Structure 1
């Protein structure tokens, strides 16, 4: 059973929401997203549906990592993951502080892109993370070659900490505080 955990209305694009992910029921949907050539930085291009389901069952079972399907106007349109960087992804690579929350997001491929959609998605995901008063900073670690996401991160308030070498990639470690996010989005994060 899935449950909606956050809703946000974008002034231009309408309603966005996040719901819990069902690793088995959502595997075929996610497979089409994570194996698409535009998702190359997701590093699952050769995965089959069973591997996608297995990966998201692993995430669902992890005490410091979870995943969500993002909805746009009620339809699945993006993927979001939340993790504790002191226990997942950045262990030994990041000076984790209390209140740090890690984030990944992936927009579904589409033949009819909506202008501003990806920025609305990242704004929705970061607003959701900051809706928890315990969240003090959001931490991201995209591939250093993923310049498109670096621009998006900067647009919503992330500042670069530096490059970290992870087993699967060189990552551009960046952080965003609640104040940086609100200043960058001018408070346009209505729930």
Structure 2
């Protein structure tokens, strides 16, 4: 039995989105199909087997400053989200953290029948989740510099690129989005 949703959002065009805690063992086979797909090349798990995927997500589940959530669209698994403390995970020593910083990764499940606007709706759901915590002041991301599709999506929800940072596995485009920047893209104010 799956864990209950920890966050839900109704998209006016695409319907219900929800997030639940990821179960590293039960969800490993599903995730394996997603993270090893050629469309998920920037996730950098293309050669992983199911056991390696389960191990990677078990390590995240056991980490005090990192968590993974399974995203559902209309009740079906459709995306993956990681939330982390960038001062302790991913960006340690690579930028000057501020109180209220939250790091994030997201992956839409590869599909042969894409829905127009789906990736943007997923990212909006993720941003709504992150900013639902009043302590969150700024979302920090570090996508691969070559991932131009995600750069455009990030900009659409308010992210501003700051600089390239060298990580062991990639050159990343360090970008920030404050609550105010995000709300401005929604036509709202803080």
TM-score by length of 1: 0.97
Residue in structure 2 matched with residue 149 of structure 1 by the alignment: 150
Q: Unpaired runs of 5+ in structure 2? A: none
Deviation at 1:33, TM superposition (A): 0.3
Residues 113-161 of structure 1: per-residue CA shift (max 9 Å, x gap): 0000000000000110000000000000000000000000000000011
- 1:160 and 2:180 are equivalent in the alignment: no
**Which position in structure 1 is the counterpart of 2:115?**
114
1:63 aligns to 2:53 (yes or no): no
- Aligned ranges 1:50-89 → 2 under 5 Å: 50-89=51-90
Q: CA deviation at 1:75?
A: 0.3
Aligned partners of 1:2, 1:55: CA distance in 2, in Å? 19
**Deviation at residue 94 of structure 1 after TM alignment:** 1.2
Considering Cα pairs closer than 8 Å and 6+ residues apart, tell me whether 1 or 2 has the greater RCO: 1
The number of aligned residues is 187
State the match for 2:178 in structure 1: 177
- Return 5+ residue gaps in structure 1 as ranges: none
**Residue deviations 1:41-62 (CA, integer Å, cap 9, x gap):** 0000000000000000000000
Structure 2 CA distance for aligned equivalents of residues 74 and 97 of structure 1: 36
Q: CA deviation at 1:3?
A: 2.7
- The CA RMSD measured in Å over matched residues stands at 0.7
Distance 1:185 1:48 in 2: 40
CA distance in 1, matches of 2:154, 2:78: 19
TM-score normalised by length of structure 2: 0.97
Q: Note the alpha carbon deviations across 1:3-41, whole angstroms, 9 max, x for none.
A: 311101111000101000000000000000000000000
Structure 1 residue runs of 4 or more that deviate by more than 2 Å after TM superposition: none
Structure 1 residue 185, shift from structure 2 partner: 2.3
Any idea what SS the aligned residue of 2:150 has? helix
